[in-house]
A = this chain, B = another copy of it.
Amino acid sequence: MATLVQAIRMGLHVGEERLGVTDIFGEDVGPPLGGVFTATQGLKTAWNSPLDERGVIGTAMGLALAGQKPVCEIQFSDYIYNTIDLLKLAGSMYWSSNGDWNLPMVCMTPVGAGIRGSIYHSHSFDATATHIPGWKIVMPSNPLDAYGLLLSAIADPNPVFYLAPKALLRVKAGPGELLPGEPADEKALSKMIDAPVGDRTTWKPEWPNLETLFVPIGKAKTVRPGKHVTVVSYGRTLPLSVKAADELMAEGIDAEVIDLRSLHPYDWEAIAESVKRTNRVVFVNEETEITNFGEHLIRRTVDELFYHLHAPPKLVAGAFVPGIGLADNLERASVPQKNDIAEAIRATALHTP
């Protein structure tokens, strides 16, 4: 049972071996550390960059233009905000050259709260990312999707953001969710691919014999079928939404939970089909709540499904404050917790006009 971060690492390895990945780079991505979250340990094309996010993005663009297949990392999405112009440029290169140059690069970055990361290790990036045209965006919430979406991101001929929810990196795959080729024994897996503590100069990973698995970009996944209300989420708040839904069964509320997984393009069909059945919908994410991607989904919902709605569509999102404070109480009050989600689901499910 790989963890989400091990699944990323294995995906990157398969990317190197079978999908032409030439460079996995960023701050502290190469040896000896292999990433501040261990995502890039033991990878043969991983290297450490200067401490310069603009250089990271720019170099990835240059590598992609020269026919390489780079996967670059911004160490925390909190530190991506000095590169938005370059990201916009990357997203517009194919378009502005009228189809002359495409730009096949992947930009990975850990996002979100949940680790008491304080003001600069808790940021979400989905509002900003979804507002940049020309990028595809994926965000897994479990190891299997982490693997399958990464391979799809690497194979894609366009720039793709790969947003990794920080709080879920150590989450393990559920039963029956082994990656294809992954050893069933998690200790054995750890021994093979986790770098040892201490001196690593002679360490080499022993990669399992993995098969490719492509989770298509743009396809959501219904992780919990239900009939009273639709809950659409992704990332850290997805498992919280599932838990909230599970608990609400005791109250007779049966919520359907959809893991969006791809934020652009996103699976409107899956949302619409579900909302047409449940007539109620809650969108959940942890970004600050003004000009939030969930608001786009609400706009589209009222645009296209207005007369299917038996309750106002609801957004559960982060508080609109300048940062996420360090103290427990502050973090909890700033981003959605299980109870906040449960409350919104309950209110929406029980809403009577």
Contact = CB atoms under 8 A, between A and B. Distances in A.
Interface of A: 54, 79, 81-86, 88, 91-92, 94-96, 119, 127-128, 130-131, 133-134, 264, 288-296, 298-299, 302-303, 306-307, 312-315, 320-323, 353
Nearest to A313: B302
Contacts of A296: 289-292, 295
Nearest to A93: B322
Contacts of A119: 92, 96
A313 B81 CA distance: 32
30 contacts: A54-B82, A81-B88, A82-B84, A82-B85, A84-B84, A84-B128, A91-B322, A95-B321, A96-B323, A127-B291, A128-B128, A130-B291, A131-B288, A131-B290, A131-B291, A133-B321, A133-B322, A289-B296, A291-B291, A292-B296, A295-B295, A295-B298, A298-B298, A298-B299, A299-B299, A302-B312, A302-B313, A303-B314, A303-B315, A307-B353
Given A84-B84, A322-B95, A295 B299 contact: yes
B264 A290 contact: yes
Q: List the 10 closest pairs (A to B, CB-CB), nearest first.
A: A92-B322, A81-B85, A306-B312, A295-B295, A95-B322, A81-B84, A131-B291, A133-B322, A295-B299, A82-B85
Nearest to A266: B290
Contact of A134 (B133, B299, B312, B322): B322
A127 B133 contact: no
A149 B295 CA distance: 28
B292 A291 contact: yes
A294 to B, nearest CB: 8
Given A82-B84, A96-B119, 8 more contacts: A88-B322, A94-B322, A133-B320, A289-B296, A292-B299, A299-B299, A303-B312, A303-B315
Contacts of A313: 302
Contacts of A91: 322
Contacts of A292: 131, 291, 296, 299
